[in-house]
Amino acid sequence: MRSLIPRSLAPPSTLPAGPDVFENQHYEAPGISLAQILAILRARKRTAILLVVSFLALVLIVAKLMPKNYEATATLLVNYQVNQGGTEIPGFLLGTYMATQVELMRSPEVLQPVVDELNLTHDPEFTSGFRGGDEGALRIFTETTLFKHLAIDQGRGSQLLYITASSRNPVMAAKIANAVANVYAANERKRLKDPADDRAREYAQQLADLQAQVMAAQQKVTDLRQKTGTSPVSNANSGASDADTQTLISLEQQLLQAKNMRRAAESATNLAPIGSNGSGGASPEIEELNKEIVAKQLQLSQLAATYGSRHPKVLALQSELDQARRSVKIEEEKYLSDTRELEAKLQRAVDTQQQKILAVRKVQDEGAKLELELESRQSEYKRALDAYDQIVFASAGKSTNISFVSGAAVPVEPSKSSKGKFLIAGSFIAILLGIGAPIFYELLFDRRLYCREDFERQFQLPVLAEFGPAPLLPTPK
């Protein structure tokens, strides 16, 4: 403890200056002041220095004994335009996109295959500290350890990604960096290629369905051709149809003539007197008989005027005239029957021809419909087949958005960054320990008075004067 006895008989260094000197006494403030801390450190500077030096020596020994750590770096170039279909991604989204790629590299989808590929679950470096569990828990623990051994950084303002892996084994460090890069690139290729493959499979199925529809439409056309005997259906009986139409027109004209003849025969039979020459439309036989009746009537009138009505010649001629009239009547009835029969026959022929033409036109319409459907299916199938080549090409392509700039090489020298960080941290802790340990020891275990503020704060009394250490008295002889 610093003595309060004056060092000499000189006047005190601090004297009261007036009645207000003790106003706002600082010794009544709680806690510890900076002056007290500095006084403690001055008093225990040897202890503080010893603690700092001892801890630094311990840090150096630990750093020396630490296993060497090797780092290997693989560099990838990420082409974001492949993911955007070749379009330019907005600049404000580039940082988000690259950050997403970094997170994907750190995800279990990438790290778990790396653990399995490199068999890290049997590497003591990555399984050290595992407290037991099943195979799944071991894989998760190894993945977490691998995550800590990885550092993925993006080049400033670029599309480069640096994958840095650390390990005690330089070969393993290079293997881990390259494995992470390869698995990530493979996942990205798969992510780009799988949609194209799925689309190709779906398109192939649609193409098969279209082909089946084309075959079904073609079979309908073939069945119709075999059923109707027409080829091709679109021109089915085009020439025959014109001939049938002409035949129908001719039959209709003949039917019209037959109707006129029948009407003429009916008129001649019902209205014209027998033996008249005005029965137009009659047969030649009837006309001959009518002429014969006219001649006999003339001859009968002459004989009757000469011989009288009872003369045998007149009676014989009258008998012949009656027979001729009966013959005309029979011929007219026969002619009328023939014209009616001819009209009915032509009517049936016209009806048959009309039904034939309607049937041909129905076949033509059905054939045209089937051919139109066939052409539509064929056109659709052709367009789909042309597009299928492009889809298959895209599915078979090797397009990827990841390019290897450089693979991770096996490091020759260990990394110094970890030891440097450890030494810096150890030095900082040593300084804190050298400063903090004496202070806490003083406050908790062995509090002493080193300065004026220690006395004032301890006893709540003001110090009027402070003297230096008293000189040692000579030892009496």
Which ranges of 22-107 does DSSP label H, i.e. alpha helix?
A: 34-43, 45-65, 80-83, 91-106
28: CB partners within 8 A, 6+ apart: 460
Highest mean pLDDT among 27-36, 289-298, 435-444: 435-444
Q: How far apart are CA 221 and CA 248, in angstroms?
A: 29
Beta bridge partners of 76: 161, 404
384: CB partners within 8 A, 6+ apart: 203, 206, 207, 210
Tokens (6 digits) for 185: 């690139």
The mean pLDDT of 432-456, rounded to a whole number, is: 80
Distance from the Cα of residue 373 to its chain's centroid: 32
Average per-residue pLDDT for the chain = 75
Sheet holding 150-154, edge to edge: 150-154, 160-167, 70-78, 402-406
pLDDT in tens, 29-53: 566 778 778 888 888 888 888 988 9
Identify the residue with better confidence: 81 or 95: 95
The pTM assigned to this predicted structure is: 0.45
Q: How far apart are CA 65 and CA 419, in angstroms?
A: 10
Look at residue 10 and tell me whether its pLDDT is greater than 70. no
126: burial class by Cβ within 10 Å (0-12, 13-18, 19+)? buried
The mean pLDDT of 59-70, rounded to a whole number, is: 78
Tokens (6 digits) for 26: 């600082």
Q: Which of 296, 282, 289, 292 is nearest to 333 (CA)?
A: 282
Q: How far apart are CA 141 and CA 106, in angstroms?
A: 14
Distance from the Cα of residue 314 to its chain's centroid: 118
Q: Which of 113, 150, 103, 74 is nearest to 121 (CA)?
A: 113
Lowest mean pLDDT among 77-86, 223-232, 431-440: 77-86
Q: How confident is the model at residue 233 (pLDDT cuts 50, 70, 90)?
A: very low
Element (H, E) at 163: strand 160-167
Residue 251 and residue 355 in contact, taking contact as beta carbons nearer than 8 Å: no
Q: How far apart are CA 389 and CA 379, in angstroms?
A: 16
| 352-354-357-358 Cα dihedral, nearest 10 degrees | -110
279: burial class by Cβ within 10 Å (0-12, 13-18, 19+)? buried
Q: With pLDDT > 70 as the criterion, what percentage of the chain qualifies?
A: 75
Highest mean pLDDT among 147-156, 324-333, 382-391: 147-156
234: burial class by Cβ within 10 Å (0-12, 13-18, 19+)? middle
pLDDT score, position 311: 77
C-alpha separations of 271 from 191, 277, 290, 332, 372 in Å: 103, 12, 15, 12, 61
The mean pLDDT of 332-343, rounded to a whole number, is: 82
Residue 80 and residue 89 in contact, taking contact as beta carbons nearer than 8 Å: yes
pLDDT in tens, 101-156: 888 888 888 899 999 888 888 888 888 888 877 888 888 899 888 888 888 888 77
Q: Which of 436, 380, 413, 449 is nearest to 207 (CA)?
A: 380
